[in-house]
Amino acid sequence: MIHIDFVLFPGRHHLLTRFQAEYLHRLAADSGATVVWAVTSANHDNTRRNPVPYHRREAAIERFSLVSGLRSLVVPVFDTAPTDAFAEVTLKSIAVATGIDLTPAGTVVACSTPEVAKLYERLGFPIALVEADPQLRTAPERPWDVLLRLAAGDETWRKLAHPATIDVFERYRLADTVRTVVNDPLVGDEGGLTATRDYRTYVEAFADAAQRKWAAVRQHVRPGRIVDIGCGAGAVLELADREPGLHESDLIGVEVARHLYSECVHKKAQGVFRNANVYFYQRNVLGGAIFADRSVDTTLTFALTHEIWSYGRQRTSLLQFARRIFDHTAPGGVWINSDVCGPDDRRRPVLLRLATDDGDNPAGPRRDLATLDSGQIRGYVSRLSTRARLDQFAADFAFPFTFEAVGDDTVRLELGAAMDFLTRKDYVDNWLSETKEQFCGLSFTEWSQLLAEAGFELDAASTPIRNDWIIDNRIAPVAELTELDGTPIDWPTTHLLVVARRPRNS
């Protein structure tokens, strides 16, 4: 083998294997080469694709190198959009971090992913194929496959993983973290609930609504340990941070979506919060307890519970969530929940008359929007009339309902389905994301029953709410709701405010 100065080893490196130690030792140790570990997706963690944070990966690599007798450099490479210039980006990241310009003359690239190896090969680098090396008698298991063994509870992962990984995973309890994240049904590869969601739009919406949300709940907040689950970009916690009566409280934000969590961390780093005791966690509460029992004084949830209902197992998941909050709530503590809500008589058949002159009314079956990009979806749905938009909504909605046309502009359907459509029809920026969620899954009465089952007592401040701004500006101008005989019906409940307390003696 020719003399080499460096072995460039790009990859996510969540788990290191015994085979990698043997292979790299043969490749680098005899020549005294330095192994340059380019740890990709270094700015991601707690996602299915990247369950282990960079600093833990780095710790395992450093221990691996010491035990294996390898001289190593570990370089973080932040995630970028898919690009054919990935190799060049990685090489530049290494040069900036270390001052070393790796060239084909003295560097071998160790990479078992053919698509990535070709990018370096195109630049002239010789390639060592690691697990994909054709000279191997039997193909060893790849690190990611070993990680999936761990996630599945298969303890044979320990026989394949390097002792350095096992040590770091045990000391920092990473095995449980990996299992939770990889098996989490609500968290995708990038840490969000859906791949179609435009988080920029959500950050703006959260910021605009924060003042109104905080004004509605601040009088019910109990000082102490205050947790905002589904905190978005932290806008409500910013307002809590400004409350003189809460200056000694701990303010804790929990957010599952990586994009929003990153925004919270950025705000904290920029000094947005004056309270020194502000913390953020990227977690899915359904994946396991985050807080110790009876340790939280106030839990806040805004526009969250309908997502748990929609992406989980509906009432089963919501009851599990309520019980988890009850468990971590201190005696006398409170859970304040503000969200959408269905009408009490949501199964009631009604007539819904919709405008047909406010957009296009295409003939034929509804379009398959999954084949379009977000801009095309936005443009197409925006051009539909309100009546035509109902047809498209029915085709895309994850909670099927039926309706019967009784005229060009009127349909017969259940009240809950009518309100689900009417409260969603204007969400064209995130149409495919929004149509995966149900707003009218539970009525206020059903909510009250669920909370009692979880152990909470309902405060008198709890109430169903009708958002008259939405009615007056979004719904009433293009829709009419009547009984089957044509008698007009008042617009029903659209939201709720719940103030649920754990009894002091529980």
DSSP codes of every residue in 7-65: EEEEE--SS-BHHHHHHHIIIIITTTPEEEEEEESTT--SSSS--S-HHHHHHHHHHHH
Q: Give the confidence band of 398 by pLDDT, cuts at 50, 70, 90.
A: very high
Position 336 pLDDT exceeds 90: yes
Q: How far apart are the first and last CA of the chain?
A: 71
Position 232 pLDDT exceeds 70: yes
Position 376 pLDDT exceeds 80: yes
The arithmetic mean of pLDDT across residues 170-176, rounded, is: 94
Residue with tokens 């002091």: 504
Alpha carbon distance 78, 60 (integer Å): 19
Higher pLDDT, 203 or 457: 457
Position 2 pLDDT exceeds 70: no
The arithmetic mean of pLDDT across residues 157-180, rounded, is: 95
Position 492 pLDDT exceeds 70: yes
Position 120 pLDDT exceeds 70: yes
What is the enclosing helix (H) or strand (E) of 330?
Answer: strand 329-340
Position 500 pLDDT exceeds 50: yes
Residue with tokens 């450099």: 73
Tokens representing 464? 């169903």
- In sequence order, what E strands does 164-257 have? 225-229, 250-254
Range list of H helices, 372-414: 374-383, 386-396
The arithmetic mean of pLDDT across residues 174-199, rounded, is: 65
Question: For residues 51-75, b (16+ Cβ closer than 10 Å) or e, as one string?
Answer: bbbbebbbbbbebbbeebebebbbb
Alpha carbon distance 125, 143 (integer Å): 23
Q: What is the pLDDT of residue 443?
A: 97
The arithmetic mean of pLDDT across residues 364-385, rounded, is: 92
Q: What is the pLDDT of residue 185?
A: 56
Give helix 114-121 / helix 86-98 axis angle, nearest 10°.
70
Q: How many residues does the chain have?
A: 506
∠ at Cα 187 (185, 443), nearest 5°? 70
- In sequence order, what E strands does 154-195 have? none
Position 215 pLDDT exceeds 90: yes
Alpha carbon distance 21, 342 (integer Å): 58
Handedness of CA 213, 219, 220, 225 (dihedral sign): positive
Position 45 pLDDT exceeds 90: no
Mean pLDDT over each residue of the chain, to the nearest integer: 92
Alpha carbon distance 337, 134 (integer Å): 58
Question: What is the tens place of the pLDDT at every residue in 345-370?
Answer: 999 999 999 999 999 999 887 889 98
Predicted structure pTM score = 0.75
Position 194 pLDDT exceeds 60: no
What is the number of other CB atoms lying within 10 angstroms of the CB of residue 368?
9
Q: What is the pLDDT of residue 196?
A: 46
Question: What is the tens place of the pLDDT at every residue in 237-291?
Answer: 999 999 999 999 999 999 988 788 888 999 999 999 999 899 998 887 766 678 8
Q: What is the pLDDT of residue 43?
A: 87
Q: What is the pLDDT of residue 287?
A: 66
Alpha carbon distance 456, 301 (integer Å): 15
Alpha carbon distance 390, 181 (integer Å): 36
Question: What is the tens place of the pLDDT at every residue in 64-82?
Answer: 999 999 999 999 999 877 7
Alpha carbon distance 193, 186 (integer Å): 6
Higher pLDDT, 262 or 37: 37
Q: What is the pLDDT of residue 44?
A: 84
Handedness of CA 143, 148, 150, 156 (dihedral sign): negative
Query: What is the share, in percent, of the chain residues with pLDDT greater than 70?
Result: 94
* Least confident window among 192-196, 378-382, 426-430: 192-196
